[in-house]
Amino acid sequence: MQILGIDIGGSGIKGALVDAETGEMISERFRLVTPKGARPADVAEVVGQVVQHFDWHGPVGCTFPAIIRNGVAHSAANVDDSWIGTDAQALFQETTGCPVTVINDADAAGIAEIVFGAGKDQPGVIIMLTLGTGIGTALFVDGHLVPNTELGHIEMNGDDAEQQAADSARKREDLSWKKWGKRLNQYFQTLEFLLSPDLFIVGGGVSKKSQKFFRYIETRAPLAVAQMRNEASIIGGAMAAHAIFHNGDEDHFGQRETSGNQGQGDETG
């Protein structure tokens, strides 16, 4: 089933048509710049432009950098604070005229990796991290998503972890790979102490250079590089929409998508 996946970020809004049953992108990715300030009406207008670009009239899966509950944003990361309390799903549906599902961006990326990427057929507790401007996280237990984790904001050295360990911190402070890797090591070890994961999956643009910093991270759980790269959120967003509009049951979100991969798993959220 074809779904239009749209990934809304602080700097860009990207979309592509996705075969939600295979996880393959079946069109070129189309990207527009996120409007300055990233206010709701302005972002919705750009989302509408992405839909128009594909001349699309079917289901849309949107990912968004916020805690999302029943389509409503309850936080705002790298977008305007006026998003907090905004019914993003209703806003995008009104703008596009399409049925829309909205999901946290890191959760969407994790769904794609669990079903089709580095987490496929992997049981136990898996933590997906996206290292970029911030640190996005997705937590899975035997393939089941624990939605809206914000583990990038745990306290580390008396401050927010992502302010110290995100890729933006490496760039901002001009850190060597070794110095940044040691910060990441502290962060990863903290997560491991708290949650005892069986696998870490590392995504975000910097994951392409994993050989430069993985050597400094010492954890019991193995580290894996995300396989979907920058397409993960688009693919995961499309899969989320497919799970709801095709299966018709949000409470069993995507159960059919992973049952063949993990026996009892799904990417519910």
Cβ atoms of 185 and 217 within 8 Å: the answer is yes
What's the CA dihedral at 144, 117, 99, 90 to 10 degrees? 60
User: What is the token pair recorded at 147?
Assistant: 């939605």
**pLDDT reported for residue 248:** 57
In tens digits, the chain (269 residues) has pLDDT values of 899 999 998 889 999 999 999 999 999 999 999 999 999 999 999 999 999 999 999 999 999 999 999 999 999 988 999 999 999 999 999 999 999 999 999 999 999 999 999 999 999 999 999 998 889 999 999 999 999 999 999 999 999 999 999 999 999 999 999 999 999 999 999 999 999 999 999 998 899 999 999 999 999 999 999 998 878 999 999 999 999 887 654 443 333 333 333 333 333 33
Alpha-carbon gap, residue 243 to 210, rounded angstroms: 32
Alpha-carbon gap, residue 40 to 35, rounded angstroms: 10
pTM metric for this prediction = 0.87
CATH no. of 121-228: 3.30.420.40
Residue of 12, 6, 199 lying closest to 93 (CA atoms):
6
**DSSP letters along the chain, please?**
-EEEEEEE-SSEEEEEEEETTTTEE-S--EEEEPPTT--HHHHHHHHHHHHHHTT--S-EEEEESS-EETTEE---SSS-GGGTT-BHHHHHHHHHSS-EEEEEHHHHHHHHHHHHSTTTT--SEEEEEEESSSEEEEEEETTEEETT--GGGSEETTEEHHHHHSHHHHHHTT--HHHHHHHHHHHHHHHHHHH--SEEEEESGGGGGGGGTGGG---SS-EEE-SSGGGHHHHHHHHHHHHHHHH--GGGTTHHHHHHHHSS-----
**pLDDT reported for residue 230:** 78
Alpha-carbon gap, residue 141 to 267, rounded angstroms: 10
**pLDDT reported for residue 247:** 65
Alpha-carbon gap, residue 265 to 242, rounded angstroms: 17
- Range list for CATH 3.30.420.40 in the chain: 2-108+230-262, 121-228
**pLDDT reported for residue 176:** 98
CATH no. of 2-108+230-262: 3.30.420.40
Pairing state between β 60-64 and 2-8: parallel
User: Residue 251 is which amino acid?
Assistant: D
